[in-house]
Structure 1
């Protein structure tokens, strides 16, 4: 009869240790690391837009996209604020933002999108594998999906202004 109680007692002790004796474990913070030199891209300097296009909205270099990154294994998510041409590494994931756009307030339907490239480091090596390259859309996330078993990447926002928007707000 004593042998039957031992596994139950061991499970109870292990559960107490894992939960910190009733207290909640602190939430781990995401850690950003350096982008490997092989993945850095020297993007050509942006060519100036014609005068008609420059007046339509915020220039590409001044836009800021908010990209969501979720690690499905440990349920840690974070928001990355990036400018076009910027590359960020978070753990084994490298995200490169090439562009972000949103429709003007007077256009329907309202849409927000970003051209993103996602690379993931192969386990136990220094090699990175490209898992996605394309446009992601906020309002239609299933239209183009980052297919990876551990990481999920999506667009949350593209901060840019249009002329006349201040008057509407």
Structure 2
């Protein structure tokens, strides 16, 4: 008896949800997205953690330069921030290699300061993330 009542309720629900899905879909299709403009910066401030010995360091880098962090080489290709807001969310394109292990980069891509786990370096010993862009 309970199973029959649950089955009847389940069969009645899809008609109502279909109408809700259509109106929700119409709202999504009609929505406009605002284009965000970014400004390139001359450099970035990064932070590194050596997970084995607990050393934490912050360092400034110029775009196009590289720095050695332990056994890793970090190259900053570019840093961008929201136009008119240099303290806003930074996006940095990094290339990280580990010489002697592989000629291929162990990380290559954009890191986002506000969401470091979104596209993070996956290394057993080191964590590296972007703090902000440097404007001077």
TM-score (norm 2): 0.62
Aligned partners of 1:116 and 1:133 also within 8 Å: yes
Q: Answer yes or no: is the 8 Å Cα contact 1:121–1:129 preserved in 2.
A: no
CA contact (8 A) 1:64 1:83 kept: yes
Match of 1:97 in 2: 76
Equivalent residue for 1:36?
Answer: none
- Unmatched 5+ stretches in structure 1: 1-55, 162-169
Partner of 1:88: 67
Give 1:131's match in structure 2, choosing from 81, 102, 106.
106
- How many Å separate the matches in 2 of 1:78 and 1:102? 22
Choose from 123, 147, 157 the match for 2:122.
Answer: 147
Instruction: Report deviation, 1:85.
Output: 0.4
CA RMSD of aligned residues (A): 2.3
Extract unaligned runs of 5+ from structure 2: 1-37
Do 2:45 and 2:60's aligned partners in 1 also have CA atoms closer than 8 Å? yes
Mapped pair 1:114 → 2:89: no
- Structure 2 counterparts to residues 65-76 of structure 1, below 5 A: 65-76=44-55
TM-score between the two structures when normalised by the length of structure 1: 0.51
Alpha-carbon distance change, 128 to 71 in structure 1, aligned in 2, over 3 angstroms: farther
Identify, as 1 or 2, the structure richer in strand. Answer: 2
Report which structure shows greater RCO (CA 8 Å, sep ≥6): 2
Query: Contact (CA 8 Å) 2:89, 2:132: kept in 1 or not?
Result: no
Deviation for aligned residue 1:131: 0.9
Query: Which ranges of 4 or more aligned residues in structure 1 deviate by more than 6 Å?
Result: none
Q: Is the 8 A contact 2:43 2:78 kept in 1?
A: no
Task: Give the aligned length.
Answer: 97
Conserved? CA contact 1:65–1:156, under 8 Å: yes
Pick the structure with greater CA Rg.
2
Structure 1 residue 96, shift from structure 2 partner: 0.3
Cα distance between partner residues in 2 of 1:155 and 1:138? 5
